[in-house]
Each structure stands twice: as C-alpha cells, then as structure tokens.
Chains A and B, each alone.
Chain A
Amino acid sequence: DGGITQSPKYLFRKEGQNVTLSCEQNLNHDAMYWYRQDPGQGLRLIYYSQIVNDFQKGDIAEGYSVSREKKESFPLTVTSAQKNPTAFYLCASNGRRVEAFFGQGTRLTVV
C-alpha cells in the first residue's frame, strides 16, 4: 500500500543532542513537508521541498535542518539550537492534487 512512514513513533532527546526524524513516502509525490504541532497552535510549517535537492524554510525553521537527496525521503534534524523541541512532528507529501497525505507522526520529548 502507498503511504508515508515516519519513524520512530516516540523519540527522547537529551539536552544538547541532535536527533533525526525519518520520513519516507512511496506515493511518487514530488513535494514533501514537515510540520510541528503544539497544543492550541495548529500545524506550523518547518521546512518543505518541492523537488529533489531543493528545499525552503517554512514559518519556524530555526533550529531545524533537512535534506532531500532522494524523492522518497525527507529527514528532519532537530538540532541543539532548537530551544523548545518537545512537540509532535508530522511529515506530509503531495503531488498533482492539492491535498497532502500525512504520516502517523513522531512524538519528540526532551529529557
């Protein structure tokens, strides 16, 4: 079945560590996105990529980095520069149609 797979489902990070969240899609979509969900703030766009080897900052890119070396993969690194990384992270993709499909999310907690 086609879809988007995020891993891991739960992730714990120590202060000062970088962590990488995985996102893979087999929908043959050109565009991929990373969103962050915090209580009461909806989904905020971190980074997005419309094509391989190219990506743009979203509204809250500070403290995050991404790469898009393959069409299927769009990993997100949460760096130590991100001051408040505890959140629910969602990866999405879309192609010809406007509606984006989402993965099941990764819950990141700083310990």
Chain B
Amino acid sequence: DQQVKQNSPSLSVQEGRISILNCDYTNSMFDYFLWYKKYPAEGPTFLISISSIKDKNEDGRFTVFLNKSAKHLSLHIVPSQPGDSAVYFCAASVRISYNQGGKLIFGQGTELSVKP
C-alpha cells in the first residue's frame, strides 16, 4: 500500500524555466509534508516543508503547494538551475506530539535534469 506516490520517475527542463514536481498521498492523517533532494551515493537533504493547515510555503526559489482536497502537493523551482539536477523525494508524516516529529513515509522519487 503506497501511501505517498510520485508518478513521474523523471523530468527534464531547460535552465531558467520552472520545474514542477508532483506528489500524491492517500492517508488523510498526514499533517506535515516535506521535500528532500538527493544526489547519488549520498543521504537526502531537507529542502522545504509544509504543514497541513497551510496551502503554500515559499523559501527562495522553492515553493511547495498543498491541495488537501485532492491529496496532492507540488514543488515549484523557479528559476531552475543545472545544480538543481538531482532526485527529489516527497515525504509525509504524522507528528507524534508537540515536541516530537514522527516517521517519514517517502515517495519513489523524481529525477530532475536541468539542461543548460
């Protein structure tokens, strides 16, 4: 039972254009959603997150949009740069308590290639 899905294994965009990575989830109990960036043979690094009480969170070139009714979130990267080329993972979580984050459930990942 795949609770978090990224249906596009790969995405190719031109430098300077917008990259849009998509993610769907099935568990309505998730209250936080996160995006990670990963290079081969390295651990993922955290990019940006959004709480389920919000519909948008922005950090520099990165913006995450959440559509709770559709159980869908997306990551927008504007403008895209060649250094953004990596695998991007969507993750979801249910917070354990006010002072403890919960386990993260990951999607399959989308490999982004930004061409100069």
Q: How many residues of B contact A (CB 8 A)?
A: 26
Binds B, one of A14-22, A43-51, A61-69, A71-79: A43-51
Binds A, one of B59-67, B70-78, B106-114: B106-114
Given contacts A41-B108, A98-B101, contact A88 B45 (CB under 8 A): no
> B58: shortest Cβ distance to chain A, in Å?
16
What residues of A have a CB within 8 angstroms of the CB of B101 in the complex? Answer: 31, 94-100
Given contacts A31-B101, A42-B89, contact A98 B95 (CB under 8 A): yes
What residues of B have a CB within 8 angstroms of the CB of A30 in the complex? Answer: 100
How far apart sit A41 and B6, CA to CA, in the bound complex (Å)?
Answer: 10
- Determine if B85 is an interface residue (Cβ-Cβ < 8 Å): no
Q: Quick one: closest B residue to A30, CB to CB?
A: B100
Q: How many residues of A contact B (CB 8 A)?
A: 31
- Determine if A40 is an interface residue (Cβ-Cβ < 8 Å): yes
> A23: shortest Cβ distance to chain B, in Å?
11
Hey, which bits of chain B sit against chain A, CB under 8 A? 6, 9, 32, 34, 41-46, 49, 89, 93, 95-96, 99-109
